[in-house]
Chains A and B, each alone.
Chain A
Amino acid sequence: MKLDPAIRDQVLATVPSLRAFAISLCGNIDRADDLVQETLLRALAHIDSFEPGTNMPAWLFTILRNLFRSEYRKRRREVEDADGRYAETLKSHPDQTGRVEFEEFRAALAKLPADQREALILVGASGFSYDDAAAICGCAVGTIKSRVNRARTRLADLLAIDSVDDFGPDRATRAVLAGGGRN
């Protein structure tokens, strides 16, 4: 059976953000790509259950999350070991933030409880609505809202962001010193 090219393109277009979400769950790019591959296999084998016109990213994210959850139960320890190794998965750090600041952020994010991190990423990075995020996670909208709020509060605590001054010259200077300078 040939797949409608429009549907195929929707699937392909979602792959980059599926990978980003998978890495945030796994903390490891190889496992993330395995997870994405498994998700695509599963999704295309059951493409009939996708209703054209509905939210393809949300559908694929739901499959990926469910696969991760069932695998997570089996390989709990391994997953926890992999937690926090986000940096290794990235080819480069974002230009607009200092290396140190980026590392701090990444480390703080890894300290969040998994359900809070997941909710924050779905809403704050993937750009899903609270409703879609709730559907993906199989929970109530209020639960997602509360997880996102707790995640933000905890991140701010971990990063000790109390004022805008933290992003001023002092912090930049520290970043440069710790990074050995940029020139």
Chain B
Amino acid sequence: MKHRKTNVEPVEPAGEKPEHQESMTRPAKPEARLGREVQARIGQQLRAMYNDVVNQGVPQHLADLVRRLSDGDQDQV
């Protein structure tokens, strides 16, 4: 078996960058001035606020609703 490209960087056709790399390397765009730490901080606060609700779990009335509907009582709600 021939080794294929094991020792070389993956070759990408020009102008066809994979999308996931875009978010990691965006040098010339205005938002690049947002530092990594600032973005991390915003993300952290966002998740803290969101998770505050997530951690409340499933309210009883919604859990009951799902169970009732799952048992086939769709017409009686």
Which A residues fall within an 8 A CB radius of B?
A: 1-3, 5, 8, 11-12, 15-17, 19-20, 23-24, 33, 36-37, 40-41, 44-45, 86, 89-94, 96-97, 101-102, 105-106, 109, 120-121, 124-126, 130, 141, 145, 149-150, 152-153, 155-156, 159, 161, 164, 167
The interface residues of chain A lying within 8 Å CB-to-CB of B19 are 130, 141
Which B residues fall within an 8 A CB radius of A?
A: 19, 22-23, 29-31, 34-35, 37-39, 41-59, 61-63, 65-67, 69-72, 74, 77
The interface residues of chain A lying within 8 Å CB-to-CB of B37 are 164
Q: Is the interface of A mostly helix, strand, loop or mixed?
A: helix
Contact B71 A2 (CB under 8 A): yes
Contact B38 A161 (CB under 8 A): yes
Contact A20 B54 (CB under 8 A): yes
Q: How far is the CB of B44 from chain A (nearest CB, A)?
A: 8
Contact B67 A125 (CB under 8 A): no
The interface residues of chain B lying within 8 Å CB-to-CB of A33 are 59, 62
Contact B46 A124 (CB under 8 A): yes
Contact A17 B70 (CB under 8 A): no
The interface residues of chain A lying within 8 Å CB-to-CB of B38 are 156, 161
- In the assembled complex, the Cα of A37 lies from the Cα of B63 at a distance in Å of 10
Contact A11 B45 (CB under 8 A): no
The interface residues of chain A lying within 8 Å CB-to-CB of B29 are 149
- Can you list 9 A-B contacts (CB < 8 A)? A2-B72, A11-B66, A15-B62, A16-B53, A37-B62, A44-B74, A102-B45, A130-B19, A155-B42
- In the assembled complex, the Cα of A92 lies from the Cα of B63 at a distance in Å of 23
